């Protein structure tokens, strides 16, 4: 006996509902706008009216991609999240991060950046927000929630954003800032990691392809392919995949070995900006006076410019726009030393002005080392982590800004042994001494510190968790007023 066919009106209603849901999804992925997209024209960036635009702004590290020195924990982000989950439990862990994201960047932050006359926020993201390693190739749509929100808040203030994939599946470089718990960059050895990266960028490009306030996509932060043979073919593959989905947005491509090497790239790629990172040697905590000697070399504004020109040679020789994707000194709390850092920063900005370079200083927010806004010691977050933060500093567990005054008796014999027994040992990317510090300070000691950090977050109430997250709100922050004046142009 035949079943009665489904009524035609029901079929039409179902089809109409499916069509409308698809339209809604498309609208979410590709917001409509009459504003034209930014584009590359020769050695300039131009908007849809043909007006030259120089991008100048901040990197928003520590939010959708966390880093140890920014947020005040040891090791890599995944490991820190694991100890927080164990200590807090799932409900409070989720409550903490939802409130952290909502406080880390607000409408007030966007208004503040716009008030400085700046027009860019580079948004680092971690692939783990969008894809689970135990459920690969399935994009988590809720990962876009706060990326959408930051982009929208910035657009409302006429601030461009650049989406920066800062941590890739398999790790694109050897250090903590790719959320790497080891010291091998496995992205370059495993096609599966590369396939997943392509898939993620296709999803990102599909979502933002019509958004005019997304200036473009920074495809891989600080790639470090030890062979130098895989990096360009993989960038080519990424470029082609993104272009099929989104043919119009600018692609920002960083050189190999931490945005330093460009000669292997093709200068004829269209609507591409090659980007270097210009951390000046006199800007680190262990550096000498500025002007003065650091690492056996005299540094003044001419030497700083010479280093910038070396990093930018590929762009200059080929008539390409320069975007300095990261730069900026670290601050010590010593007024005399920090005054030298401000002078260094002013010299760098004058150099970028001279050469028409766009720039993005690293960093907008942290716990006191590097950024424009930072937490005072009175916040709930800083009070809770202070004892571990002091121990972490004493043991030199952070690469960025860390010193090793408390473990010289450990590191000195290792350096001597390596020099004696392995005089030709020169591991990529930074040689024997830096490799020893990576393995001992930034991995071994950092891992040992994680358990202590975890214990500090046990037994919290939901109110405690929310208060910790609210520590990252701009209303709780201190501001470096000199840095503010320099970046806004009020002091140069």
Does the residue 1 lie in any domain? Answer: no
Average pLDDT of the residues in 37-63: 96
Q: State the virtual CA torsion across 205, 207, 212, 215 in degrees, nearest 10.
A: -40
Three-class SS of 338-350:
HHHHHHHHHHHHH
CA atoms of 414 and 416, how far apart (whole Å): 5
- pLDDT of 22 higher than 80: no
Q: Please name the residue that has the structure tokens 């990317």.
A: 429
| DSSP letter, residue 303 | H
Cα–Cα distance, 212 to 98 (Å, whole number): 27
pLDDT of residue 216 exceeding 90, the answer is yes
Distance in angstroms (rounded) separating the CA atoms of residues 467 and 469: 5
The dihedrals phi and psi of 365, each to the nearest 5 degrees, come to -140, 140
**Residue 453: both structure tokens together:** 């950090």
Model pLDDT, residue 468 = 98
Cβ density class 13-31: b for 16+ within 10 Å, e for less = eeeeeeeeeeeeeeeebeb
**Is 34 contained in some domain?**
no
Quote the pLDDT of residue 401.
Answer: 81
222 is catalytic: yes
pLDDT mean over 265-292? 96
Tens digits of per-residue pLDDT, 372-427? 999 999 999 999 999 999 999 999 999 888 777 889 999 999 999 999 999 999 99
> Could you tell me if 265 and 274 are in contact, meaning their C-beta atoms sit under 8 angstroms apart?
yes
Residue 78 has pLDDT above 60, yes or no: yes
| Residue 353 to residues 100, 322, 356, Cα–Cα distance (Å) | 36, 11, 5
More confident residue, 433 or 24: 433
pLDDT on residue 414: 97
Cβ atoms < 10 Å from Cβ of 116: 17
What's the average model confidence in pLDDT over 48-59? 96
Please give the model's pTM, rounded to 2 decimal places: 0.92
Give mean pLDDT, residues 334-353: 97
Catalytic one of 222, 254, 261, 404: 222
Task: Tell me if 10 is assigned to some domain.
Answer: no
Q: How many C-beta atoms lie closer than 10 Å to residue 300's C-beta?
A: 14
Q: Structure tokens of 365? A: 């927010």
In whole angstroms, give the CA distance from residue 310 to residue 407. 35
- Whether 291 maps to a domain, the answer reads yes
Comparing 402 with 341, the larger pLDDT belongs to 341
> Does residue 234 fall inside a structural domain?
yes
∠ CA 405-418-286, rounded to 5°: 30
pLDDT, one tens digit per residue, over 293-318 is: 999 999 999 999 999 999 999 999 99
**Treating both helix axes as pointing N-terminal to C-terminal, what angle do 90-104 and 145-156 enclose, rounded to 10 degrees?**
20
- Residue that has been written with the tokens 């109110």 in this structure: 463
Full domain range(s) for residue 422:
45-488
CB-based contact 83:458 (threshold 8 Å): no
In a domain, 33, yes or no: no
Per-residue pLDDT reduced to its tens digit, 424-454 = 999 999 999 999 999 999 999 999 999 889 9
Percent of the chain whose predicted confidence (pLDDT) is above 90? 89
Interior angle at CA 260, CA 212 and CA 150, nearest 5 = 30
Q: How far apart are CA 367 and CA 386, in angstroms?
A: 11
Q: What is the pLDDT of residues 237-249, one digit of tens each?
A: 999 999 999 999 9
Q: In degrees, to the nearest 5, what angle opens at C-alpha 212 toward C-alphas 484 and 256?
A: 70
Domain assignment present for residue 166? The answer is: yes
Side-chain half-sphere of 242: how many Cα atoms within 13 Å? Answer: 28
CATH number at residue 92: 3.20.20.80
- Beta bridge partners, 121, equal 58, 161
* Number of domains present in the structure of the chain: 1
pLDDT at 10: 38
Q: Is 82 a catalytic residue?
A: no
Residue 8: pLDDT band (50, 70, 90) is: very low
Q: What is the mean pLDDT of residues 43-71?
A: 97
Q: Token pair for residue 30? A: 């590709």
How many CB atoms are closer than 10 A to CB 389? 20
User: Rounded CA gap, 252 and 275, in Å?
Assistant: 6
Structural tokens at position 473: 């709100």
Residue 148 covered by a domain: yes
Q: What is the pLDDT of residue 319?
A: 98
């Amino acid at each position: 006996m035949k079943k009665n066919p489904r009524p035609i009106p029901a079929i039409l209603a179902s089809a109409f509902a499916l069509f409308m849901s698809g339209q809604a999804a498309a609208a979410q992925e590709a917001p409509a706008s009459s504003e034209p997209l930014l584009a590359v024209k020769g050695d300039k960036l131009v908007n849809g009216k043909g007006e030259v635009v120089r991008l100048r702004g901040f990197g928003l590290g520590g939010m959708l991609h966390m880093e140890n020195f920014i947020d005040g924990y040891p090791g890599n982000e995944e490991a820190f999240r694991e100890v927080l989950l164990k200590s807090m439990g799932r409900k409070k862990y989720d409550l903490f991060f939802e409130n952290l994201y909502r406080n880390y960047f607000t409408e007030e932050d966007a208004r503040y950046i716009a008030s400085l006359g700046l027009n860019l926020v580079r948004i680092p993201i971690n692939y783990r927000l969008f894809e689970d390693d135990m459920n690969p190739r399935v994009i988590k749509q809720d990962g876009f929630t706060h990326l959408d929100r930051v982009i929208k808040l910035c657009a409302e203030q006429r601030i461009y954003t650049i989406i920066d994939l800062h941590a890739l599946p398999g790790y694109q470089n050897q250090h903590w800032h790719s959320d790497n718990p080891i010291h091998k960059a496995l992205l370059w050895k495993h096609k599966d990691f590369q396939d997943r990266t392509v898939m993620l960028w296709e999803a990102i490009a599909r979502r933002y392809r019509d958004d005019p306030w997304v200036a473009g996509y920074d495809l891989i932060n600080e790639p470090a392919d030890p062979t130098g043979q895989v990096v360009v073919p993989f960038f080519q593959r990424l470029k082609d995949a993104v272009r099929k989905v989104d043919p119009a947005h600018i692609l920002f491509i960083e050189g190999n070995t931490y945005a330093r090497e460009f000669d292997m790239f093709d200068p004829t790629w269209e609507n591409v900006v090659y980007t270097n990172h210009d951390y000046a040697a006199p800007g680190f905590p262990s550096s000498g006076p500025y002007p003065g000697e650091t690492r056996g070399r005299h540094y003044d504004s001419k030497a700083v410019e010479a280093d910038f020109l070396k990093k930018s040679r590929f762009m200059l020789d080929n008539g390409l726009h320069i975007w300095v994707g990261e730069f900026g000194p670290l601050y010590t709390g010593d007024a005399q030393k920090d005054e030298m850092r401000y002078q260094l920063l002013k010299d760098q900005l004058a150099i970028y002005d001279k050469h028409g370079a766009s720039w993005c200083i690293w960093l907008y927010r942290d716990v006191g080392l590097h950024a424009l806004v930072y937490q005072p010691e009175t916040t709930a977050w800083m009070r809770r982590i202070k004892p571990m933060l002091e121990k972490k500093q004493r043991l030199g567990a952070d690469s960025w800004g860390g010193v090793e005054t408390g473990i010289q008796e450990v590191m000195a014999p290792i350096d001597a042994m390596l020099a004696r027994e392995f005089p030709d040992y020169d591991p990529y990317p930074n040689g024997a001494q830096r490799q020893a510090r990576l393995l001992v300070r930034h991995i071994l000691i950092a891992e040992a510190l994680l358990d202590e950090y975890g214990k500090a977050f046990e037994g919290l109430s939901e109110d405690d968790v929310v208060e910790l997250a609210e520590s990252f709100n701009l209303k709780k922050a201190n501001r470096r007023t000199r840095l503010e004046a320099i970046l806004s142009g009020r002091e140069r």
